[in-house]
Structure 1
Amino acid sequence: MKRIPMRSLLLAAVFALLAGCAGGGTGGRLQAAGDAEVFDLGLDTTLDWARVKAPRREQWTIDGAPLNQLTIISRIKPGEHVFLGARERRGRPDGPWFRPGMRPDEVRDILVDGLREAGWANVQASGLRPASFGQVPGLRFDLDLDNPGGLVYRGLATAAEREGRLTVLVWIAPAEHYYGRDVEAVSRMFDSLRFVKGP
């Protein structure tokens, strides 16, 4: 029996989740503008989203995943893949595995590595800066990347560690039109993030 490479499995899982959001979130539920809770986070949004849920992971979109997508991943455990792909393996100690106490640049780097593993090309991160999830310190940075078909995307990523677990949000949209249309609203939404429930 032929073994399927881990990269292919990750890419298939990401596209399967994104496909569930396509066409305005078919199969998901509407998140109207206003206050929202997702896992142990509270946030404020001025946009309407379609939400597709999975354990410890949600995919949000406004116009369908190819046009904009927000991935929210909750409580990533030590040794776990930053996008919940797999557990750490001895044969690959340098993979995108979360470890408590990572520096902001290390968290940024594992997120970038995870995006590359998922099939994104030319992934570049810039503008690493502090952020806050209410009283919990975090980080934020900007993204430039291409999808497997060569379409140029831009985005924002933010993350915070609490109680030895990592919470991550990654928003991306095509650089042409959709990124510019929504980046300010998504940035304000990221500014509003706060933990509202105990770990």
Structure 2
Amino acid sequence: MSRKLLRIVTLALAVAVLAACATGGAGGRLQTAGDARVFDLALDTELDWARLKAPRQEQWTIDGAPLNQLMIISRIKPGEHVFLGAKARRSRPDGPWFRAGMRPDEVRDIVLDGLRGGGWANVRGSDLRPATWGPTPGLRFDLALDNPGGLQYRGLATAAEHDGRLTLLVWIAPAEHYYGRDAEAVSRLFDSLRFVE
């Protein structure tokens, strides 16, 4: 997927989420605080979210996507773009494509590359650390990035490989207010992740 097309898709998804937040319209619904099920994941959230669903991915927001967004991408197959944007090609073997058995630093790097490809600037990951999704080992790291207009964002990312596929959650919010307001609650949401059948 070209960079321009990826931006258009991201913008369309953001507009749809905003519309769903405002109207409760088709495609969006309220996720109230408490236990939730998303694809093959179970989690517990302390926050209320608007949810916009698509095949193998959802976008959650509290105040609208420009102010906070949680991207949940499920069951990324080997050879797929980490944000489901495209499949690996021989002409670009070093893109942000998932491979089964990747090391934690490799997963972090494809997430960062995927964000850069989506138009984010000054993308940095820090504090890569182990995480657990129930009994499944995973990883977590912190994010710092700027939107194309220069607004500074911070965030959290977590990922785990399960049955040879990757599941990824990325939460971002403007550094000035929204990140500080919700970071601890999102971190606890990440702590509660577990795969279910």
Give the TM-score normalised by the residue count of structure 2.
Answer: 0.96
2:15 maps to: 19
Identity over aligned pairs, percent: 76
1:7 maps to: 3
1:180-199 map, 5 Å: 180-197=180-197
Mapped to 1, the partners of 2:54 and 2:117 lie a distance apart of 20
Q: Secondary structure at the match of 1:107?
A: helix
1:137 maps to: 137
Mapped to 1, the partners of 2:3 and 2:118 lie a distance apart of 6
Q: Secondary structure at the match of 1:9?
A: helix
Moved more, 109-118 or 19-28: 19-28
CA change 1:117–1:21 in 2 (3 A) is same
1:160 maps to: 160
Query: What is the one-letter code of the residue matched to 1:142?
Result: D
Structure 1 residue runs without a partner (length 5+): none
Mapped to 1, the partners of 2:20 and 2:157 lie a distance apart of 22
Check whether the contact 1:22–1:66 (CA below 8 A) recurs between aligned residues.
no
Check whether the contact 2:20–2:52 (CA below 8 A) recurs between aligned residues.
no
1:104 maps to: 104
Deviation at 1:89, TM superposition (A): 0.4
Mapped to 2, the partners of 1:67 and 1:193 lie a distance apart of 23
Structure 2 residue runs without a partner (length 5+): none
1:1-199 map, 5 Å: 6-22=2-18, 25-26=21-22, 27=25, 28-197=28-197
Q: Secondary structure at the match of 2:97?
A: coil
Q: Secondary structure at the match of 2:172?
A: strand
Check whether the contact 2:155–2:172 (CA below 8 A) recurs between aligned residues.
yes
Check whether the contact 1:72–1:170 (CA below 8 A) recurs between aligned residues.
yes
Deviation at 1:156, TM superposition (A): 0.1
CA change 1:14–1:93 in 2 (3 A) is same
Give the TM-score normalised by the residue count of structure 1.
Answer: 0.95
Deviation at 1:25, TM superposition (A): 2.3
Check whether the contact 2:80–2:86 (CA below 8 A) recurs between aligned residues.
yes
Moved more, 14-23 or 114-123: 14-23
Mapped to 1, the partners of 2:177 and 2:117 lie a distance apart of 26
CA RMSD of aligned residues (A): 1.0
